[in-house]
Structure 1
Amino acid sequence: MDLYICEKPSQGKDLASVLGAHQRGEGFLHDVGNRKVTWAFGHLLELYMPDDYDAALKAWHMDTLPILPDQWRSNVKKSAAKQFKVIERLVGEADRIFVSTDYDREGESIARQILDRCRFSGPVFRVCLRALDDASIRKALADIRPGEETVPLYHAAIARQRSDWLIGMNMSQLYTALARQIGFNETLHIGRVITPMVTLVCQRDKEIAEFTPSPYYVLRVAVAVQSGAFSATWVVPEEFADDQGRCINRPYADQVAHQVRGTSAVISGAETTAGKESPPLPFCLTSLQQYAAKRWGYTAQQVLDATQSLYETHKACTYPRTDSRYLPQSQRSDISPILQGLIQTDPDISGLVAGADPNRASRAFNDDKVKAHHAIIPTPARTDITKMSEIERNLYDAIRRFYICQFYAPAEFNRTIIEVTAGSHRFAAKGKTPIKQGWKVIFASELESHPEDESEKPDDAEDNASLPLMRQGEPAIINGAELADKLTRPPPHFTEATLLSAMENVARFVTEPRFKAILKETAGLGTTATRAGIIQGAVDKGYLARKKKVLVATDKAHALVAIVPEAIKSPGMTAAWEQELEKIASGEARMTPFLQQITHWVSNIVNTVKQNASALTEQGSAIQAVFEQAKGTTFPCFVCGSELKRIRAKNGFFWGCQGAACRKTFPDERGRPQPRVAPEDAPDCPDCGKLMRLRKGKAPGKKRATKFWGCTGYPECKSSMPYSKKSTTSI
């Protein structure tokens, strides 16, 4: 019997449909023959927690560290126990296994961990799924590979899981215990990637707080020639400029403005060159997240979730967790079917598709730059866009436009650079005149002149949209001169888009030459698939806060950075580890030596901190000051004034009063507790003591919904009470 193991039920259903396995079993599908398709729910197995190895490790104490498992063990998740038994039975009956999870290291791990636990020793093959539409699945089934080829992906995933466990469990316990000795009674979550990322934001916020603006001056002049007029900017002599060429001498700038106003000048330089601009490459996940953050303000996690839905539910795009923006040459055979599929899905796009030339060469098709996954593109499948949410429609539209524009001509323009001389003073002007729109017609309805323009021009930049025709040596008149006072500006706060970019290109923030060289060759901090979750995790753990469109570090984050050594918060160190994981995934390195190095590194840090813990607490006045400031992020209870604590529940966060006689709860709004509007006689729960909330529901045997009191501790506490109408007030 052939058994196909998929990552999720939806993926299993799609694969089974193409295989003709339409008969339903308990937790699997089959074809009444020799093929069965089953599925996991993501990771069915989870590594033991420390107290699973030894109950004494449940309490966090320095003297029990380091925690270094001799033999790694895992549990079946309680929520997946039933499905695991189904898979275990099917694996026992199987002659051959076809790993059909997502084609990446985590997908490989999901299936391989199950096979290892079930002690399967038969032949294993790999179905390399890159999209879930019928055509893509058939293509993957026609190109099944030996399982030995993808075993290194599994080893890389195991190395990542275990190294993250070693660092997270040991360092979180170590520095939480140390912080409590200093007087900061809050859990510090430390991770291989999240801590360096939080450090980046802390450093940026510190730069902004400590920034001292300095003045500089910009002189612009109005220049008239025979064919028209334009503006030009003064080229500041080196002796009056800072290191960025800005004038810092106001008297001299005033003098120049006075000297040139109304004087004759000459066009001392005039150069026009023709230029072409190629279409932007199709998206990888990070570039899509950046684009969506700037255009619509979506968070990285929102984009990941919506794109995953486009891939799994709507079958509208290819695999989204990719770090590639290129396509294999073999994908050219799908161009026409994809373009036709776009028209069938949405006839409104037919005008743009009609202008595309499927035979046009595009730099996006490059085999040398495609690894496991190619760029995110539309599938040939016809899908119902009316069933998409707003964010899904927006992302789908962006994905299809970035694909269609590959088959349009480059945009053409003339770039002109003019130099004007008045006496001993020089002025410069630039102009860019569009000649042919080319691919830019695809984005004519967008606000951006270029859909991916990452740069932000400084406010002293001056580009003319176009310049009048002129020649070198032509006389000119300077009709006016305007001197503007400016102030240097601090670096901007991180946004969702710029933080993703910083994580991807973290080499810019590293000073150590050894790490800087490594980082230029790697994917940076985290991976394309994990960055959204890392940012959201930092928000959930109270390290980052979203304020309008920017991300800022909280006092808790600054407290973390104050106590953690450079070796843990260095982006260079964690990116070097990611490089090793990539080598393991490609078969260039082995898992065991890597884990031995991580184990040795963790042990050294733990033992060093334990030996110096007393000195750190005695001499940690600076750290104490940061911790005391971090304590200021707590809030008083709206009822009794005791301290409120932010608590994560199944359905999100809430705030709970720590006062033993109160124990009220309040809703969370962007990291701050909100007063609750409830009936003035809202009772306490008779079972758990939490505040009851007015709810509405249909009781058994009743035709209409009625109001009742329900415990705010639901679903842990399901206590309820009858409701009688009273006036309401704010708590």
Structure 2
Amino acid sequence: MRLYIAEKPSVGRALAACLPQPHRKGNGCIETGAGVVTWLFGHVLRQAEPEEYDARLKRWRAEDLPILPEEWRLVVNESAAQQFAVVKGLIERADEIVHGGDPDREGQLLVDEVLDYLHNEKPVRRILINALDDKSIHDALGDLRDNADFLPLKLSALARARADWLIGMNLSRAYTLAARRAGHDRLVLPIGRVKTPTLALVVRREREIENFKPATYYLLDALFQHAGTGESFRVRWKPSEERTPLDPEGRLVDETAARAALASFGDEPQDGKVVKYERKKVEEPPPLPFSLSALQVLAGKRYGYEPQQVLDTAQKLYEEKLTTYPRSDAEYLPKSQHKNAPKILSNLAGLSDSPLAAWAQAADAEKKSRAWNDEKITAHHAIIPTTVAANPARLSEIERRIYELIARAYIAQFHPNYVYDRTKVELSYHGETFTASGRTERAAGWRAMYRTGKTAETDDAEKDDEESAVLPPMKKGDRADYVSGELGTRQTKPPARFTPATLLQGMKEIHKYVKDEAAKKMLRDVSGIGTEATRASIIEDLIRRRFLHAAGKKKVLTPTDAAYLLIDALPDTMTYPDATAIWEDQLHSMAAGVGTPEEFLAGQANFARDLCAAAARSQIAGGGGVPCPACGRGVMTKRKGKHGDFWGCSAYPQCRMTANDKGGVPDFTGKRIPTAQGSVPHDTNAPNSAPSFTAPAPIRRLRRLLRAVSIRRRRMSRRRWTRCFLEDDMSTFRELGVPQQLAAALEKRGIKEPTPIQEAFIPAAGGGENLVGAAPTGTGKTFAYLLPSLTRIDMNLRAVQLLILAPTHELAVQIADAARTLVQAAELPLTVQALIGGANIKRQIEGLKKKPQIVVGSAARILELSRIGKLRLSDVQILVLDEFDRLLGKQLADDVRAVIRLLPQNRQALLLSATAPTAAIRAADGLFAPRIIRVEDAQTTCENYYHRAAFRDKIKAVQKLTRRLPIRRGIVFVGRGFDAERAVEKLRYEGIRAVSLLGQERRDRRRAALDSIRAGRADLLIATDLAARGLDIEDVDYVVNVDLPEDVRTYRHRAGRTARAGKAGAVVTLADDKEMARLKELAARMELELKTLPAK
């Protein structure tokens, strides 16, 4: 007997109707002349609950987390138990089985999991049913496949289901318990891999709106008359930033400047000149047929329907055999389906009282649009009408509207392209640029259908005023006379609040909300987060659970207090979609046969483990309860006991503080409150004060005090400062407590004595306290933190124990190389791994499989890898922020703070910088309360010169300097607006071996430039401050400032590239007459002796 197993009864009945007679209805099945058809009710098996693994887990306790099943269990759904028994009996009788699940990932799994659960060993075929009309089913019956071909699809769905269980079960418990510790007794915080980033979208959007401040900007439109034809046309002024103040979006915000420009255009007439004129014929193909998401978004915007309503309606149309499979993520059609076009169009031409009928009648059934593309087809295709004719009179209003949207998109494929001329003009007047663009329609094509009837759309709804300009024929060089100008004002608008439709669109286009380019590409490739089948239910669930509030006819979504609480409590790894992007990419790869569920779930388990640990440390905003006087973490909550009401700490069982109830509040009279010094009776009249703790004594002390010109200590907030000057009286590394193995390794490299920063920093770092080290560049800060850190690593623990963050890729690689060289020279059994953006992430994941103890990298890439469970940070003992002033600056601070939240609370923090400015110290103080060791250079071997040169002559000046100075290698610093590539070309033409190091260049090009200068294949490195930050290049003879340093800090950083380790060097600043005053001011602030560059 052949047994067909459909996903649901409606599919089973449609399938049976296409099989030979006789037919007989049985219990949960239909017997036919070609076998028996039965069905499931979707997933008839579910993942076991935690308490079904272990009864103890019914109670939520932090100490039980994470829950990681060793053997995964499935349980029969009670509601489907009767049908499951029917299917089980039929499988036992069958000789062959035909898998009839829906043609997608979940459809594959839900039948396969039943077969696996029942240990089926009988042959299984696969039928792919994309529509329920007779023709589509007959076609599918003639194309049965081997079910083994779809194994990767099943494994991908299985991995997703188990990963969702690991994330949902563990993190929902972990953060709900954290909320209860804060006094939110009745609140459950459901966390999901897709649900949580979706909720975060709405929370962040609401905060953007709350923080939005409207700003006025100005648009200047001018009317010109073409000198040849006399025709008038409008253009818009494009002010240049050099001449007019613009905001970051390039908008004119200075009304005075705008009015002055308008007045000058009219008061001082000149000839306008056409500098560019383009007229191009454009053919626009019809929009593609719908995927489910595209249909939901359009129906939401057009009619206000919620995504779930649209899905339910599309499902009903599918079951009525009027449209194809609704849960499709495809917008293309197989070429084999084109043969049905005449029949489908004929049916649509017969639609009564529909404006689409005439368009279907006029359609060219032979035409093939871009929609027919087999390469874009996976298990299913776009949603289109079937060969079954619809009767609009029998459809409800929502069914008719959804059907007509689907039908219109299909009919459009058989109409000509929309053809128009796109015209662009650029005009020069008064030295300013004016532009306009417009379009002239040649043939309406498919667009004519979209302009008629109840589903009409306006062509220009989303077009800019500028693009709608009517432009007469002209050519480059033509004269145009200024006639008049008009100044208009606009106001910036806050981002719009989400509706269910736009939130669903946001889920599908989630890459737009991601900063990391690698994650952005992955999310674009996998079409966002969630699936076509789940996005609507996720939004509906967030509304049902009262995390989102939907208001008004458009169902505008706003977050509730519970939503803010949840998103604020979670680390960025759960609220941003980057991790989901990588997980979805891995699941898609698995569906294509790459990767296994075991590898994927190992990463998910690590991720759950780390976040459960983070939840235990998290501080959630209080629920308004009375703080526990014993532990300070929990709040006192009212409970019922054998002898009446009492109050207990929400952190129980870690804290067992209780109190009697007195008039609805806790009464602590006579209670003994545990403190750091022991238990003392609670004094209800005593003021609240934080317990004091004595800091542990350092495990190593300085063997010899620095003989400094001055040592002064002062308190600023909680900070402790130590200031000293570089001198020649040094300790040895052994005296500082550096092990013989490491000291010998240093000696092999010719490093016999510590520098002052090393002498001050190494013993203090060995004591375990949080430190800031500030010392000039080239004084050995890298070894200052590497040496004490290496002595504290457990050689037997194969886990990341030392984490070093750097602000640039080049600096991270440089540090990793230094650490690797030192480890190898000392013959230590340690592994170093560099993790930076722009590099191959798969190779980095392979490197992490070697379980390195030392990781160096960028915060963004470290976050990315930890979010996908490939990098565990729970064993980190020491965190190093190299160039911490950059890391805690605006651009990188968010990522750095997110990394810090993933680390154990008791880890040590070591922060290094050449300057340690006040703002950076303040930021560090808020995070770590470090002691600050600042080393200043009492004398320098660096000479500082200036040379007068006009800006246009500065590159020539560099050429002359290069020939005049006795150099081996030099660095030329330029600003962002400087054409460095052109400068390199000019220098090379003069025979000077120059290379560039610019922030916008690819990482491999930057690395090649560094390799060239270090290996002596180049003499001159042209660099920006950002790209060259923290680099250690030996024997740099001189630094040239082509662009003036912005401040003292920048000057010192640049100067620090030369005269390193006591060697001689020079800084030459090229300045024009205007820049000289500022240069002298910088020199005075730094107390530098600034000399004129000698003639020889």
TM-score interval for Structure 1 and Structure 2 normalised by the shorter chain: 0.7 to 0.9
2:999 is aligned to none
Write out per-residue CA displacement over residues 466-499 of structure 1, whole angstroms, 9 at most, x where no aligned residue: 3344555555554432212333223222233432
Q: Conserved in 2, the CA contact under 8 Å of 1:230 and 1:464? A: no
Q: Conserved in 1, the CA contact under 8 Å of 2:421 and 2:439? A: yes
Q: 2:570 pairs with 536, 547, 564, which one?
A: 564
Q: 1:492 to 1:350 in 2, by over 3 A?
A: closer
Please give the alpha-carbon distance, in whole angstroms, between the structure 2 residues aligned to 1:271 and 1:597: 54
Q: 1:527 pairs with 515, 525, 531, which one?
A: 531
Secondary structure of the structure 1 residue equivalent to 2:332: coil
The offset of 1:83, in angstroms, is 1.3
Letter of the aligned partner of 1:101 in structure 2?
G
Q: 1:580 to 1:332 in 2, by over 3 A?
A: same
- More displaced, 369-378 or 413-422? 413-422
Q: 2:457 pairs with 432, 448, 457, which one?
A: 448
Q: Conserved in 1, the CA contact under 8 Å of 2:62 and 2:174? A: yes
Q: Conserved in 1, the CA contact under 8 Å of 2:183 and 2:623? A: no
Letter of the aligned partner of 1:296 in structure 2?
Y
1:140 is aligned to 140
1:638 is aligned to none
1:218 is aligned to 219
Write out per-residue CA displacement over residues 41-63 of structure 1, whole angstroms, 9 at most, x where no aligned residue: 11111222222223332222212
The offset of 1:123, in angstroms, is 0.5
Letter of the aligned partner of 1:579 in structure 2?
D
Letter of the aligned partner of 2:540 in structure 1?
Q
Matched, 1:42 2:42: yes
Q: Conserved in 2, the CA contact under 8 Å of 1:414 and 1:435? A: yes
1:177 is aligned to 177
Letter of the aligned partner of 1:43 in structure 2?
H
Q: Conserved in 1, the CA contact under 8 Å of 2:424 and 2:437? A: yes
2:519 is aligned to 515
The offset of 1:421, in angstroms, is 4.2
- More displaced, 267-276 or 537-546? 267-276
Please give the alpha-carbon distance, in whole angstroms, between the structure 2 residues aligned to 1:571 and 1:272: 42
Secondary structure of the structure 1 residue equivalent to 2:178: helix
Please give the alpha-carbon distance, in whole angstroms, between the structure 1 residues aligned to 2:624 and 2:418: 53
TM normalised by structure 2 equals: 0.54
Q: Conserved in 2, the CA contact under 8 Å of 1:219 and 1:253? A: yes
Secondary structure of the structure 2 residue equivalent to 1:402: helix
1:204 is aligned to 205
Q: 1:473 to 1:606 in 2, by over 3 A?
A: closer
Q: Conserved in 2, the CA contact under 8 Å of 1:315 and 1:383? A: no
The offset of 1:551, in angstroms, is 2.2
Alignment of 1:198-597 (within 5 A): 198-225=199-226, 226=229, 228-239=231-242, 240=244, 241-261=246-266, 266=272, 268=274, 269-312=276-319, 314-344=320-350, 346=352, 348=354, 349-445=356-452, 446-450=455-459, 456=462, 461-464=465-468, 466-470=470-474, 476-548=480-552, 549=554, 550-597=556-603
Q: Conserved in 2, the CA contact under 8 Å of 1:316 and 1:383? A: yes
Q: Conserved in 1, the CA contact under 8 Å of 2:351 and 2:391? A: yes
Q: Conserved in 2, the CA contact under 8 Å of 1:282 and 1:377? A: yes
Alignment of 1:63-142 (within 5 A): 63-142=63-142
Please give the alpha-carbon distance, in whole angstroms, between the structure 2 residues aligned to 1:599 and 1:27: 40
The offset of 1:563, in angstroms, is 0.8
Letter of the aligned partner of 2:19 in structure 1?
L
The offset of 1:332, in angstroms, is 1.9
The offset of 1:192, in angstroms, is 0.8
Q: Conserved in 2, the CA contact under 8 Å of 1:168 and 1:191? A: yes
Q: Which has the higher contact order (CA 8 A, sep 6+)?
A: 1
Write out per-residue CA displacement over residues 7-64 of structure 1, whole angstroms, 9 at most, x where no aligned residue: 1111111000001353111111112x45111111111112222222233322222122
- More displaced, 294-303 or 495-504? 495-504
- More displaced, 224-233 or 209-218? 224-233
Q: Conserved in 1, the CA contact under 8 Å of 2:182 and 2:623? A: no
Secondary structure of the structure 2 residue equivalent to 1:19: coil
Q: 1:17 to 1:223 in 2, by over 3 A?
A: same
Q: Conserved in 2, the CA contact under 8 Å of 1:92 and 1:118? A: no
Larger radius of gyration: 2
- More displaced, 62-71 or 387-396? 62-71
Q: Conserved in 1, the CA contact under 8 Å of 2:422 and 2:437? A: yes
Q: 1:465 to 1:516 in 2, by over 3 A?
A: closer
Secondary structure of the structure 1 residue equivalent to 2:530: coil
Please give the alpha-carbon distance, in whole angstroms, between the structure 2 residues aligned to 1:589 and 1:372: 20
Secondary structure of the structure 2 residue equivalent to 1:306: helix
Q: 1:625 to 1:181 in 2, by over 3 A?
A: closer
Write out per-residue CA displacement over residues 83-123 of structure 1, whole angstroms, 9 at most, x where no aligned residue: 11111111111111101121112112221122222222100
Please give the alpha-carbon distance, in whole angstroms, between the structure 2 residues aligned to 1:227 and 1:435: 24
Matched, 1:191 2:192: yes
Write out per-residue CA displacement over residues 308-353 of structure 1, whole angstroms, 9 at most, x where no aligned residue: 11111x2111111111111122222222222123234558444212
Q: Conserved in 2, the CA contact under 8 Å of 1:97 and 1:122? A: yes
Please give the alpha-carbon distance, in whole angstroms, between the structure 2 residues aligned to 1:527 and 1:77: 23
Write out per-residue CA displacement over residues 125-174 of structure 1, whole angstroms, 9 at most, x where no aligned residue: 10111111100000100000011011222222221111111111111111
Secondary structure of the structure 2 residue equivalent to 1:449: coil
Q: 1:425 to 1:581 in 2, by over 3 A?
A: closer
Please give the alpha-carbon distance, in whole angstroms, between the structure 1 residues aligned to 2:456 and 2:273: 35
Secondary structure of the structure 2 residue equivalent to 1:438: coil
Secondary structure of the structure 1 residue equivalent to 2:446: helix
Q: Conserved in 1, the CA contact under 8 Å of 2:108 and 2:150? A: yes
Letter of the aligned partner of 2:233 in structure 1?
F
Give identity over the alignment, percent.
39
Write out per-residue CA displacement over residues 635-662 of structure 1, whole angstroms, 9 at most, x where no aligned residue: xxxxxxxxxxxxxxxxxxxxxxxxxxxx
Q: 1:464 to 1:163 in 2, by over 3 A?
A: closer
Please give the alpha-carbon distance, in whole angstroms, between the structure 2 residues aligned to 1:73 and 1:248: 63
Q: 1:362 to 1:375 in 2, by over 3 A?
A: same
1:702 is aligned to none
Write out per-residue CA displacement over residues 545-586 of structure 1, whole angstroms, 9 at most, x where no aligned residue: 223333222221111111111222230111211222222222
Please give the alpha-carbon distance, in whole angstroms, between the structure 1 residues aligned to 2:366 and 2:518: 45
Please give the alpha-carbon distance, in whole angstroms, between the structure 2 residues aligned to 1:271 and 1:67: 65
TM normalised by structure 1 equals: 0.79
- More displaced, 144-153 or 336-345? 336-345
Secondary structure of the structure 1 residue equivalent to 2:71: coil
> How many residue pairs end up in the alignment?
613
1:699 is aligned to none
Write out per-residue CA displacement over residues 646-682 of structure 1, whole angstroms, 9 at most, x where no aligned residue: xxxxxxxxxxxxxxxxxxxxxxxxxxxxxxxxxxxxx
Q: 1:601 pairs with 604, 607, 630, which one?
A: 607
Write out per-residue CA displacement over residues 514-545 of structure 1, whole angstroms, 9 at most, x where no aligned residue: 43343343222112221111111111122222
Q: 1:407 to 1:267 in 2, by over 3 A?
A: farther
Secondary structure of the structure 2 residue equivalent to 1:546: strand
